[in-house]
Structure 1
Amino acid sequence: MSLIWRDSDERMAQFVARLNDLGLQFVHGARFWHVLDASAGKDQAANWLIEAYRRQWRARPLTLGLGDGPNDAPLLDVMDYAVVVKGLNREGVHLRNDDPLRVYRSQNEGPDGWREGMDYFFSRS
């Protein structure tokens, strides 16, 4: 479920605590907040897909992920390479491994930023 939060930070903390009690998480995307199962995430989906390819081809694929919101950070953290697309979100995207050899941060927003990031990595190969 996606929503827009229009209340105080204190009330948000109470809301998040209640969601956590219910086994849910409150995640900020590029534009909206999302309520998800605590065990769900883009990183789990990516890891499942990577493992499926590994079983099929007996090799781990080289991965590149793109994202523009805080909820994309777990996905980008499990990728070999990552593009952080400049977005509207004031919190930004914070990665565990922000090595510039692995992570490119676009100057452009939206589709132009996605293209910029893809061009950056494809021109390096």
Structure 2
Amino acid sequence: MTDATPPPSYLVFTDLDGSLLDHHSYDWQPAAPWLMRLGEAGIPVIPVTSKTRSELLELRRELGLEKTPFIGENGAVIGLPPSWQHATLDRDPDDIEGLRIKTLGADINFLRQRLEVLREHLGCRFRCLSEMPLEEIVAETGLSEPAARRAVAREGSEPILWEDDARALDEFRAALKDDALTLTQGGRFHHVMGDVDKGRAIDWLVARFVALRGASPVTLGLGDGPNDVSLLQAVDRAVLIRGCHSHPVEVSHPSLYSTRRAGPHGWVEGIEHWLGETLA
């Protein structure tokens, strides 16, 4: 008689702004009961966001996600807590609160230098987040001043506020591609980074999970914006949360659920659709 097949392991990959966090207020309390249920079930909830490591260190504590990895800056940065670290693969000396940090793609200094060169060469109009006065960042994002300072502490991507037309944006995107750089659109800013995205960072983390656990997980992803398309296409089950923005989001996925509600209410709707019966 053979042993019964063990139940599958689940990993939940979630965008933050406009998804788990309300687009305007950054409130996440509607999702709090489900975050607790997932934690009690041993299902990691992994933030996949444009936010920086500095922003995420505090936010992870608030959300109760200190034991799970995170993907920051749209896939440019991965943070590994101790239980996700490999004895021989993670000898990175950068150790912040027990985390090992993996930086994928391009270095922030290279990005900023190239952006300055391209702006002068192409004559296009945009401003980097790092160039904006703190009070303007607060006005654009709704963040507090301390949170805005953390948002500027980039390691592998640079948000820009585009102030030119669509034709100039196409030229800018093509010039970035010549430098092996990419441009993705978030809810408020465009983001310039190396040849990385949220989906490839998820693939990296899933491979790490398999290496450590010896089994493939069932993956669930939730997001609301154009920069979440690669996230949603990288997972087994996807949730496109109704957006509070005007940007078109097209996702091709055989197991896609689109929510009726936005923000954390839509997040809960998507989680209940895919995991409601499993965790009943």
TM-score by length of 2: 0.41
The answer for unaligned runs of 5 or more in structure 2 is: 1-157
- The 5 Å alignment of 1:28-47 reads 28-37=185-194, 39-47=195-203
Give deviations 1:59-107, integer Å, cap 9, x for gaps. Answer: 110100111111111111110001111113333321232x3xx111111
Q: Distance in 1 between matches of 2:263 and 2:246?
A: 15
Indicate the RMSD between aligned Cα atoms, in angstroms: 1.4
Report the residue type matching 1:106 in the other structure.
T
Query: Identity, % of aligned pairs?
Result: 35
1:80 aligns with 2:236: yes
Q: State the SS of the aligned residue for 1:63.
A: strand
Q: Distance in 1 between matches of 2:188 and 2:262?
A: 13
1:19 aligns with 2:176: yes
- The 5 Å alignment of 1:58-97 reads 58-97=214-253
> Deviation above 2 Å: which 4+ runs of structure 1?
88-93
Report the residue type matching 2:199 in the other structure.
D
Do the aligned partners of 1:31 and 1:88 also contact (CA within 8 Å) in 2?
A: no
Do the aligned partners of 1:65 and 1:83 also contact (CA within 8 Å) in 2?
A: yes
Tell me how far 1:4 sits from its aligned partner. Answer: 2.5
Q: Equivalent residue for 1:122?
A: 275
Do the aligned partners of 1:73 and 1:94 also contact (CA within 8 Å) in 2?
A: yes
Larger Rg: 2
The number of residues matched between the two structures is: 121
Q: Distance in 2 between matches of 1:35 and 1:86?
A: 25
Q: State the SS of the aligned residue for 1:84.
A: strand
Give deviations 1:99-119, integer Å, cap 9, x for gaps. Answer: 3xx111111111111111112
Q: Distance in 2 between matches of 1:90 and 1:117?
A: 21
Report the residue type matching 2:216 in the other structure.
R
Report the residue type matching 2:193 in the other structure.
L
Do the aligned partners of 1:85 and 1:106 also contact (CA within 8 Å) in 2?
A: yes
Larger RCO, structure (CA 8 Å, separation 6 or more):
2
